[in-house]
């Protein structure tokens, strides 16, 4: 019985050691990826109302091109309107996220939308960087599509 106690005590001490904490995965990383993948799932459902749950009220969408950047939207209501219009114009659009990585509050991915236009399948890819603050997208930057 005493042997079992010492084994349990040893396991507890090892689990609580600084090395164990350093080697443990950061729980926030998964949460940040979950925000982005949840947002993408709502996008693929063309559910702009559900997408709103993943944004801050003052979410900002920024497009980058060469040395220029421009703000496309700067509020949840403006982004909502843009997406409703987009889904009406592209009723077949769906997208995937590839090469997802996390660095602090930033989630980076390659976004690849696919849609039908004029009876032909179209596709492009853009690098996107999401800034996640308090479990919601605060800002996101799109690089030029390729």
- pLDDT 10s digits, 79-127: 999 999 999 999 999 999 999 999 999 999 999 999 999 999 999 999 9
- Closest by Cα among 54, 59, 61 to 40: 54
86 part of a folded domain:
yes
| Calpha distance 6→9 (Å, rounded) | 5
Q: What's the Cα-to-Cα distance from 119 to each of 28, 93, 146, rounded to whole Å?
A: 42, 13, 21
The residue range of the domain holding 99 is 26-142
pLDDT band with cut points at 50, 70 and 90 for residue 29? low
99 part of a folded domain:
yes
2 part of a folded domain:
no
88 part of a folded domain:
yes
- pLDDT 10s digits, 48-90: 999 999 999 999 999 999 999 999 999 999 999 999 999 999 9
């Amino acid at each position: 019985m005493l042997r079992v106690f010492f084994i349990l005590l040893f396991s507890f001490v090892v689990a609580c050691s600084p090395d164990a904490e350093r080697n443990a995965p950061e729980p926030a990383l998964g949460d940040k990826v979950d925000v982005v993948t949840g947002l993408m799932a709502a996008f693929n459902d063309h559910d702009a109302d559900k997408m709103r749950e993943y944004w801050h009220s003052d979410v900002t969408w920024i497009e980058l091109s060469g040395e220029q950047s421009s703000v496309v939207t700067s509020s949840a209501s403006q982004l909502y309107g843009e997406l409703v219009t987009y889904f009406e114009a592209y009723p077949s659009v769906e997208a995937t996220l590839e090469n997802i990585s996390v660095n602090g509050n930033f989630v980076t991915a390659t976004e690849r939308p696919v849609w039908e236009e004029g009876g032909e399948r179209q596709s492009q890819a853009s690098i996107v960087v999401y800034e996640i603050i308090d479990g919601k997208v605060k800002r996101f930057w799109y690089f030029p599509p390729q």
